[in-house]
A and B are shown apart, each in its own frame.
Chain A
Amino acid sequence: MNEPVAAGAQRGLRGDHVAGLVFIVLALLVAWENRAYPLGSLSTPGPGYMPLMLASAFGVFGLLIVLRGGASPLLATIDWTESRRAIVLLIACGVATLALERIGYRLTMIALLVFMLGVIERKRPLPTVLVAAGFAFISHFVFATLLKVQLPFGPWGL
């Protein structure tokens, strides 16, 4: 996926440096949040004991990743070309999640598929609508009717 870069060949921030630093910060946040739970004693460890152990290990691993990060690819060489599409897909799924229990399964799936096929993939309107409606109704029939999986209904019983 990423071009391997020889250690020390180029200067700059590397992927593992960033990842390791993020891990250290997250470990500190977990340890900070863990203050709310009793640590107990060694003979009766409390609910805060294991999270603190894990946060400590996570912080140490993060530090080691930073220290050994010199051989990882430069952050600038990591290819992010598909990231815009990924963000759009995530936002579309987020909106669908908000809509799911409000407008029901079938309408949500139709809207989500029409957006992905029509707007993102620029498919022609007729196949887009047919695929979206077909998927929504067939999957609802298979899961809700045949397999008795509960799916949310929206207006007009859809």
Chain B
Amino acid sequence: MAEVLNNLLLGFSVALQPSILAYAFAGCVIGTLVGMLPGLGPLAGISLLLPATFGLNPIIAMVLLAGVYYGAMYGGSTTSILMRIPGEAASVMTCIDGYAMTQRGRAGPALAIAAIGSFVAGTLSVIALMFLAPTLASFALRFGPPEYTALLLMGLFVLAYMSGGSMLKTLTMATVGLMFGMIGIDAMSGYTRFGFGVLELSDGIGIVPVAVGMFGLSEILLTAGQATPPAVQRPTLRQLIPSGDELRLSVGPIARGSLIGFMIGIIPGSAHIISSFVSYGVERRMSKHPERFGNGAIEGVAGPESANNAAATGAFVPMLALGIPTSPITAVMLAAIMVHGIAPGPMMITEQPELFWGFVASMYVGNVVLLILNLPLVGVFVNLLRIPYSYLYPAVLCFCVLGVYSVSNSVVDVWIMLVMGALGYLLRKMDFDLAPIALGLVLSPILELSVRQSLAMSGGTYAIFFNRPLAVIMFVIIGLLLLLALRPLVFKSKDWRANVGLDEQG
């Protein structure tokens, strides 16, 4: 405990430096704007900003990008509540009751509870991260290639089971991502695979062009022709104050959302999206008046908003402790520190204490900054929503080209982004989820290396995956998830989405 506090003091001595504070503030502002803009989620926003961090020191780079990440989580709630437009996917559930509250003239309290819930969840999960990440890092030193293989596969299966769509389709998309990850030089043999004579492909396909293409460009292709958004309410500071009843009803959902979000955040996958779905379902199920949900229940705002912010922080645990990017977003952030020659993994916390603890402390600072930004300044940010979409999307498109090109000054990356945008557009039309592709691409090299190392260790037998207790536990979980996914087919029963009422909400 004393050691943690000492380390935290070290972190604050780093995070409270004026330059770092300024970047944390800038990251939160950019993130809030990114979260509010339809077509730019946190992943595309972070990817576009990545090249700008190459010239910064690694702590500042992490603080800036993390600010964008949780800023986008906050910002996404504003458009969801005021306009029923989720700025990013994790805010979909907030739309339902948040917008219903706006229609009843309670937009201010909905925004306030979303901001307070996000602040509380963000702060609680940073405390959990602070204690859990170093413990997990020392535990992870026991992990060998078979355990890493099992962990990565378990992450993909959890994502497939928890995602809103079909498990089969999610696994298929993850396989597409894993196959994309096969492109480029094989680290173990030096062979260039699937390069098709294009020199730039020997480096493989980067996460940035894929993320921007699939999440930024495809969204623009789907929505470019839409009419100008409707008029937006601008609540005053006085209107933001929630009633006593609203505050009382929000306490439980915020606490539960924080816990659910953090737990789901640790597991690989699109945690911030899944956690808001699960939290909404749990709150509806626990409510004495579930009929209020969908008609402006404050719990339907407090729970999901807390959960998606807690999940955003939870996702940093495996990233910092294991060096495993459990989501495309954390992959881009890892890329930002690897550019500076820092190897992520269990040793990073002891070898780079200033980076780790400075980053942790900056999260506390970021949460305070976001609370300030999202309560009194919400009226200022709302002005952004007045820009007609016909002006907004061409600018976002140009940012996509600019951001992707500047990662490695290569037009090949821009071509990849365009191909991914077209592919993402087609897949979304066919109701396929794109997040598993990005996650598969990120995990692919680690998974291949750990599978091949495991087989080499065992002398060519798959039994190694079933001889090691930790790996066995994870494979048992994979088996259970498969059985749970098959259960509705065999027994004609409802699956978890139906049980928490999500199928009705879309």
Contacts and interface: CB of A to CB of B under 8 A. Distances in A.
Interface of A: 1-2, 15-16, 18-19, 23, 30, 33-34, 37-38, 41-51, 54-55, 57-58, 61-62, 64-65, 68, 72-73, 78, 80-82, 85-86, 89-90, 93-94, 96-98, 100-101, 105, 109, 112-113, 116-117, 120-121, 123, 131, 135, 139, 143, 147-152
Contact of A42 (B51, B223, B461): B461
A16 B431 CA distance: 9
Given A45-B452, A135-B395, A139-B398, A54 B182 contact: yes
B471 interface: no
Contact of B222 (A72, A82, A97, A116): A82
Nearest to B453: A45
B48 to A, nearest CB: 10
B238 interface: no
B394 interface: yes
A112 B401 CA distance: 11
A42 B460 contact: yes
B405 interface: yes
28 contacts: A15-B431, A19-B430, A37-B186, A38-B191, A41-B460, A42-B460, A44-B455, A45-B452, A47-B191, A50-B448, A58-B172, A58-B175, A58-B179, A78-B430, A80-B429, A86-B221, A86-B224, A90-B418, A90-B422, A97-B414, A97-B418, A100-B405, A112-B401, A116-B394, A120-B224, A121-B390, A143-B406, A149-B406
A61 B451 contact: no
A41 B52 CA distance: 44
B397 A116 contact: yes
B175 A85 contact: no
Interface in B474-505: none
Interface in B403-423: 405-406, 409, 411, 414-415, 418, 421-422
B244 interface: no
Interface string B199-236: 00000000000000000010011111100000000000
B456 A44 contact: yes
A65 B221 contact: no
Given A50-B451, A97-B415, A100-B401, A89 B221 contact: yes
Nearest to A41: B460
Nearest to A108: B401
B402 interface: yes
A61 to B, nearest CB: 4
Given A42-B461, A50-B182, A96 B399 contact: no
B219 to A, nearest CB: 11
Contacts of B451: 45, 50
Contact of A45 (B171, B221, B390, B455): B455
B405 A82 contact: no
B194 interface: yes
Given A18-B430, A65-B168, A139-B398, 10 more contacts: A37-B193, A43-B455, A54-B178, A54-B179, A82-B223, A109-B402, A121-B394, A147-B52, A151-B402, A151-B405
B484 to A, nearest CB: 17
B193 A51 contact: yes
Given A23-B172, A97-B414, A113 B406 contact: no
Nearest to B183: A51
Contacts of A109: 398, 401-402
B382 interface: no
Contacts of B432: 19
B99 interface: no
Nearest to B173: A61
Nearest to B393: A116
